[in-house]
Structure 1
Amino acid sequence: MAPDLKALLTPALFTKMVETWIPYKKTDPIEDFDKCIQYMFFESATDNLKVRDKAWPALIALSELGLDNVPDTMSFLPLVESPDFPEQAFGLMLFLDQAPRLLLQGVDTRWTYAYFGEIALKFALQLEALPADLRPSAWARWKDFASMGYFVWVRLHFGAPIIHHEKMGEEAAAFTEETRSLIERHYGVHDPYRDQPEKRWDLYGFPNMLEAGGPKGPCSVADGCFWLMCLMDVHKPPLDKYGRYPYQNWRLGRVNTPEEDEWMDNAGMFRAPSDEVTKKIREDVEKGIWTPIGSGKE
């Protein structure tokens, strides 16, 4: 029997995703944005596990459909013109893009990149195709009930599936530039990373920035956002050089080239898991099968 997705992909799930992922009041200015970045990127995983009870059954149900049979994700949301649409769309995006990254480990990781990543990207592109004033990633849809500090995280997560996808390098750069320009206009400041191409386009910038952690010391929303935009920019150099993200190879059942092996060795933090996991994923890809979610090993 086909799962009842309407009973699983609910407003309650989407609201829980939002409230768990962004644990700040919408209208309050977020001060000490460096601490906010530190929490969101490096400390929130345990708290975010609170979504598992509601998110896990929905992930299982979607996985059982097959990509060609996944219904239009917009059908689970209120009308685009509804005042509830931006937050509900945000919750659905968090579910599709972030919940798999948190909950799916080991062999299950393939589902994050090769399955849910595709659904999330399709949804993101649908949203970006809406008229500019109706897009839930637009400041105009949030400015009456959210601070800019809160909206920075909203905007970042709406763009995440585009950043994460290997075929969206130019689109990701454009989305990031639009975000950067919005912050510059809003605060009347200049992003200093514009003048530091050696940081923005560093081949090892992504792992290096993550290993170094977020901004050191107190920083404003604008400064924190500029750090985040640089973190988005540094996804692109490996994509430009190799045509794909080397750290996604094992997750997609691919074999590294010698040059990608060198990058992985130098990147340090992107180590592949056990040979058992990588071998199983590769075998599944070669056979054209999927190990069901939850049955794989770490």
Structure 2
Amino acid sequence: MGQGLYTKMIQVCSKSLGIPISKIYINETSTNTVSNMSPSAASMSSDIYGMAILNACEILNSRLAAIKKNNTNKSWDEWINIAYLDRINLSAQGFCKIEKLDFDWSTSKGSPFNYFTYGCGCSLVEVDVLTGDFKVLKTDIVMDVGKSINPAVDVGQIEGAFVQGMGLFTMEEMVYLNEGRNIQKGTVFTCGPGTYKIPCFGDIPANMRVYLLHNAPNERAVYSSKGIGEPPLFLGASVLFAIKDAIANVRRENGVTLTFRLNSPATSEHIRMLCSDFITNIFIKEKEEGVAEEKWTVVP
């Protein structure tokens, strides 16, 4: 999937066996090697696969322990050659099952997670009150990833999840059509890149900084690390809340003090209509009088 999983697993193996990564090769994953493995999902891939690799490496280390002890001045290649000549099994299969997960969905009791990944995000936005468009000027994120196996991979996952969450909360709107000319009721209108918008390069915060929390060990995962794929997604809500704060300031400047609700996704249309001014007031008045639809709504 491109989440850096292979890279992390090579690092786990390298550290456990005490060999350089140049000596490690990962074949394409397939169910013909492990038939009942969990999917690469739920931000648990590093946990379950890392522990499985660690399990297999520990088996190999135990088989090689006597050879290493009696040949301390030799290299890895020489140890393996000795083991081969002694007919020692040099292949091992590891497996991992996350323990102490006993959540009962019928009673909502128990523990559905092995641990929690914490994070904090703060965003600064600039809103164009005449069009409803916005720009994210700056975002700061702090994530608790335990002891990161690969900080570069984790930072990339955090950045990607944040941008995905920002799109979820501000752009990705599902619109269904009512009955019209040659159109069936319930037809999805936003069914392509022309209408269903996702973040692009220009939407990424101009100044984005990601910090990994130091001294935050996690005893429940491989080498004290934490899963990081999905947890940062909700931090994209910081953009939504910043937009709402900007709208509130505009409304106060226009003498509007009533509370308002900003639904997600906060698209440009929704933002513009909440920035109450004389233009939106015209629309609201005409809508109440029943004449707004003809002027403002495009009917297919």
Q: Same fold (TM over 0.5)?
A: no
Structure having greater relative contact order (Cα 8 Å, sep ≥ 6): 1
Q: Which has the larger radius of gyration?
A: 2
Q: Comparing both structures, which one devotes a greater share of its residues to helix?
A: 1
TM bucket by the smaller chain?
Answer: under 0.3
Q: Comparing both structures, which one devotes a greater share of its residues to strand?
A: 2
TM-score, length-scaled by structure 1:
0.22
TM-score, length-scaled by structure 2:
0.22
